[in-house]
Chains A and B, each alone.
Chain A
Amino acid sequence: MSDDTRNQMPRNLMPLWEVFIRPRTGLAHSHVGSVHASDEVMAVQAARDVYTRRGEGVSIWVVPSASITASDPDQRDENFEPSASKAYRHPSFYDIPDDVGHM
């Protein structure tokens, strides 16, 4: 495909998909990146070819990037700073009995 035809390709023919891979049984799917594909079937194949070449996964999810609702960067301070001053929410104020061993 020449650069000319590529540039003329309407963007909606190859929308963006977010890719989630489950590394191995028992762990949750994690976001690993994104691919361009014409539809969900091709997106799963593209994700397989781009993100599982080194045995990274046993399961793939793809989601249209347009379906993701993100928090507003302008609201970052009001969203996330209030939790910074509440160290007591972390489970780090307990004395763990010796008998419990490593947790």
Chain B
Amino acid sequence: MAGRDDLLALLLRIGDDHLILGHRLSEWCGHAPMLEEDLALPNMALDLIGTARMCYGYAAEIEGDGRSEDDYAFLRDGTDFRHILMVERPNGDFAFTILRQFLFAAYMHPVWDGLTGSTDARLADHAGKAVKEMAYHVRHSGEWVIRLGDGTEESARRMMAALDELAPYIGEMFESDETAQRLVTAGLLADPDAVRATFDGTVSRTFAMAKLPSLDVTAGISGGRTGRHGEVLGHLLAEMQFMQRAYPGQTW
């Protein structure tokens, strides 16, 4: 039976995935290749950070030790984060960022779709909003994947390079452990086989139109769910957490 610790673990996994990827997307603000994407990427970042806030606020209530959502985001060390490694990877070029966004959204959309029926009312309620946000992320990033993959020689080369670099990080999305199994059994989390089937369908349809090779997901690099992260996370946190570390308790 899934208990309080399992629900907390789930909230940190989802919250950290969304916060770290949201922060990565926010790094494009002011640097995107065109004005339209300079708004589109931060729009998606804000969707993701909104979900992270829900997760951390809920976790704080459950823990009940006076911490707030900000404590989870700004005062935890790298080894306390539970996100998959893909989301912390540096942005690279626009092709890499867009393909990473597409893969993450193609995975999270069926996760949220399943969570709309979660036995946890708070998660089910938020899922109704998040599933629409993810549907747009899949569509927006997917249309770009198609146009870059089946675009110019240069864009196709960059999309292939992005796929080569991201491929080892995809398997971690579908890893399971005892915590995840208890959450599924208790009806808090969606059936992982259904999530995987939807992900495979979304990716294969889009990759076919993008003239990208079909995806072969194998066991690759992992460890994020147990707090084993890359050196890049330290640099990300140094920037993201700077204000609260330098000026504890600072508010707007």
Contact = CB atoms under 8 A, between A and B. Distances in A.
B66 to A, nearest CB: 35
Nearest to A47: B36
Nearest to A1: B33
B35 interface: yes
Interface stretch (A35-43, A72-80, A90-98): A35-43
A35 B40 CA distance: 12
A6 B139 CA distance: 25
Interface in B223-250: none
B135 interface: no
Given A1-B94, A38-B147, A45 B34 contact: no
A28 interface: no
Interface residues of B, number: 14
B140 interface: yes
Contacts of B147: 38-39, 42
A53 to B, nearest CB: 7
Nearest to B36: A46
A45 B40 contact: yes
A42 B145 CA distance: 12
Q: Chain A interface residue count: which class? A: 10 to 19
Interface in B83-100: 93-94
A49 interface: yes
Contacts of B39: 49-50, 53
A14 interface: yes
Contact of B35 (A1, A39, A50): A50
B178 to A, nearest CB: 41
A24 to B, nearest CB: 19
Interface of B: 33-36, 39-40, 43, 93-94, 139-140, 143-144, 147
The 10 closest A-B pairs by CB, nearest first: A46-B36, A49-B40, A1-B33, A49-B39, A50-B39, A49-B43, A35-B36, A45-B140, A50-B36, A38-B147
18 contacts: A1-B94, A6-B33, A36-B34, A36-B35, A37-B36, A38-B147, A39-B147, A42-B144, A45-B40, A45-B139, A45-B140, A46-B36, A49-B36, A49-B40, A49-B43, A50-B36, A53-B39, A53-B43
